[in-house]
Chain A
Amino acid sequence: MNQENNQEVKSIWEKLLSIDRRIIFLFIAVAVAVPLFFRLSMRIPVTPVAQGTYQAIESLPAGSKVLVSFDYDPSSMPELQPMAEAFFRHAFRNDLKVIIMGLWPQGPLQANIALEEVFQDEDIKAKNLQYGADYVNLGFTAGNEVVIDRMGHSFKESYPKDGQGTPLSEIPLMRGVRNYDNVDLIFNLSAGYPGTQEWVQYAVDVFHVKLAAGNTAVQAPSMYPYVQTGQLSGVLGGMKGGAEYETLLGIPGRAVRYMFSQAVAHAVICLFIIIGNLAFFSLRRREAS
């Protein structure tokens, strides 16, 4: 009888190890999809690195100029777009002046999408923000890190005109903005190259400008050493970073909503990892004995 039970248990482990991967896909799909239908808000603990980004923006007095570089494309929207929207809400709430640019061709378009979303907020609408006076979109320019380097000497060298073709000299917000000395903070939303690493290397360490960043989760761990050395004020890492930022702002948005799905999916993945390991070690032990 005991022998039979052993045989049965063994076959279960073997079955689990040879499970069809499509069943795992199905579990993940259900784990991600079902929580989207529930408006449950999770408690989002705020990490010091996310707090650093929030503080870098929060500590700026009204009227300060923030250069924000959109270095990502639509494929990174789920992670970075909530951060972009939260950033604009934060900046406009605090009456900061925003200079938008992009080292990725689609970056400035992502900024426009985020602006459209944020301008629907009643409190932002009430501020009657004007293009050219309160914010400006310089658009994309080719050159990767060389653009960052040249902007340290002169913005006009890289961006003689804004994204709509207006010369910088005719834009009220850009009057008096010659180089990084005339901006109070750079905020970078990055999904790869060129991105936060290049901003650290070519702007922070050369021109000693203050930089905060929001990154995709894949990229975020590479940026944490820059926070420890003070090269970065803070990092928002992936969807969790976006949710932390929304929590700090007190405006829970998409990132907070998505985190429930994220948590359930992670739990399912952890469960599969545990089952896989148990099955693997159990079978190995049996084989050894």
Chain B
Amino acid sequence: MSGEVIGVWIGAILTLGIFSFLYKDNPFYKFSEALFVGVSAGYWFVVTFWQYFLPKLIDNLVLAYTVLTVEGKIDYHWVYLLGGGLGVLMLLRLLPNVGWLSRWSLAFIVGTTAGLQFTRYLESNGIIQVKGTILPLIVGGNLNTTIGNIIIVVGTFCGLIYFFFSKEHKGAFGGAARVGVWFLMITFGALFGYTVMSRMSLLIGRLDYLFSNWLGLIG
């Protein structure tokens, strides 16, 4: 029996193990789940070492050291020491007496991420999206675009009104908020539909694996 066939059998049996939870919780499911968790943890440990720790920290520091010894210059790669140092501080969480030092690393992560994301979100998901709603409500000779533009403008405007809580939702303002709720409900419905499609796709993929790769019932 080839390695590939053994792999298919293991995959199929574990798939059935996970599916068995749909009937009720059982040891076969527990075993499959525990195996998945363990393999995932092991896999990510290896990935972290070979793809993050080694190439991003060790290789760069070795390069910096080589440049220093061969050319006698202090290379910019020494800056990776800072990252390594912050990483060590994170590990100090394991020591109760000096665990507070890990907050410096967290502060660095939170600060840089917030700064980096703020400008990008503001432009891509804020300013450009607002610009995208400034549309002509009537486009001559193009009924589809006209209807589409009206839906975008009315939906955005009423949706924003719904989230404006400084004024009571009464009268025309309340009516616009109710229209906003309708748009939100339709959006949630569409999101639900897409989620169902996504989950069904995963089930189709697994069943196709069982019937094709394992049992060979589908050519």
Please state if B124 and A216 are interface contacts (CB–CB under 8 Å): no
A77 touches B52 (CB 8 A): no
A140 at the interface (CB under 8 A from B): yes
Which chain B positions have C-beta within 8 A of A258? Answer: 201, 204-205, 208
Whether A239 pairs with B204 at a CB distance below 8 angstroms is yes
User: What's the tally of chain A residues with a CB closer than 8 Å to chain B?
Assistant: 47
| Residues in A whose Cβ lies below 8 Å from that of B196 | 266, 269
Of the four ranges (under 10, 10 to 19, 20 to 34, 35 or more), the interface on chain B belongs to 35 or more
Question: For residue A240, which residues in chain B have a CB less than 8 angstroms away from its CB?
Answer: 197
Across the interface, which residues of A come within 8 angstroms of B125, CB to CB? Answer: 201
Q: Among A37, A79, A238, which residue has its beta carbon within 8 angstroms of that of B218?
A: A37
A265 at the interface (CB under 8 A from B): yes
In the complex, are the beta carbons of B201 and A201 less than 8 A apart? no
With the chains together, A15 CA to B131 CA distance in Å? 52
Among candidates A140, A141, A204, A217, residue contacting B197 with C-beta atoms closer than 8 Å: A217
How many CB-defined contacts (below 8 Å) exist between A and B?
A: 114
Bound: A269/B195 CA distance, A: 13
Minimum CB–CB distance from B66 to chain A (whole Å) comes to 15
Closest residue on chain B to residue A237 by CB atoms: B194
Determine how close the nearest CB of chain A comes to the CB of B86; give it in whole angstroms. Answer: 15
Within 8 A of B (CB), among A225-241: 225-226, 228-229, 231, 237-240
List the 10 closest pairs (A to B, CB-CB), nearest first.
A78-B205, A229-B132, A217-B198, A201-B120, A217-B197, A201-B124, A217-B194, A239-B201, A218-B198, A78-B201
Q: List 7 A-B contacts (CB under 8 A).
A: A78-B204, A141-B55, A218-B198, A220-B194, A238-B194, A240-B197, A258-B204
Give me the interface of B with A, judged by CB distance under 8 Å.
Answer: 22-23, 47, 51-52, 55-56, 116, 120-121, 123-125, 128-129, 131-132, 152, 187, 190-191, 194-198, 200-208, 211, 217-218
What is A's interface to B at a CB cutoff of 8 Å?
Answer: 22, 25, 28-29, 32-33, 36-37, 75, 77-79, 105, 140-143, 145-146, 197, 200-202, 204-206, 216-218, 220-221, 225-226, 228-229, 231, 237-240, 254, 258, 261-262, 265-266, 269
